[in-house]
Chain A
Amino acid sequence: MADTSPPQPAPARRAASGRYSAWRLLREGLTGQRGWTRAWAKAAPRPHYRIVIVGGGGHGLATAYYLASEHGITDVAVLERGPIGLGNVGRNTTIIRSNYFHPDNIRFYEFSLKLWEGLEQRLNFNSMVSQRGTLNLFHTEAQRDLFTRRANQMRLLGVDAEALDRAQVRRLVPLADLDNGRYPVLGGFLQPRGGTVRHDAVAWGYARAASAAGADIVEHCEVTGITQAGGRVTGVQTSRGAIGADLVCLAVAGHSSRLAALAGLTLPIETHVLQAFVSEAVKPLLDVVLTYGAGHFYVSQSDKGGLVFGGAIDGYNTYAQRGTLPMAEEVAASAMTLLPGLARLKILRQWGGVMDMTMDGSPLITLTPLTGLILNGGWCYGGFKAIPAGGFTTAHLIACGTPHPLAAHLGLTRFASGHTVDERGAGPFPYAH
Chain B
Amino acid sequence: MLQIPCPWCGVRDETEFRYRGDASRSRPAADAGAAAFHAYVYQRANEFGWHVEWWLHFAGCRRLLKVVRHTESHEIRAVTGPQDEPPAGPP
Contact = CB atoms under 8 A, between A and B. Distances in A.
Interface of A: 257-258, 261, 266-271, 315-320, 324-326, 359, 415-416, 428-431
A303 B33 CA distance: 55
A324 to B, nearest CB: 6
B45 interface: yes
Interface residues of B, number: 27
Interface string B4-33: 000000000111000101100000000000
A320 B72 contact: yes
Contacts of A315: 19
B15 A317 contact: no
B1 interface: yes
- If over half of B's interface residues share one DSSP class (helix, strand or loop), that class is named, otherwise mixed; here it is mixed
Nearest to B67: A316
Contact of B34 (A267, A268, A416, A429): A416
A270 B22 contact: yes
B46 A317 contact: yes
B71 to A, nearest CB: 5
Q: Which of A268, A270, A317, A428 has the most B CB atoms < 10 Å from its CB?
A: A317
A258 B44 contact: no
Contacts of A266: 39, 43-45
Interface in B74-90: 74
Contacts of A318: 71-72, 74
Contact of A325 (B1, B71, B72): B1
Given A315-B19, A326-B15, 17 more contacts: A257-B45, A266-B45, A267-B46, A268-B44, A269-B44, A271-B46, A317-B51, A317-B53, A318-B72, A324-B1, A324-B2, A415-B38, A416-B34, A428-B41, A428-B42, A430-B21, A431-B21
A344 B35 CA distance: 55
A268 to B, nearest CB: 4
Contacts of B1: 324-326
12 contacts: A266-B44, A267-B43, A268-B43, A269-B44, A270-B44, A315-B19, A317-B46, A324-B14, A326-B15, A359-B44, A415-B38, A431-B21
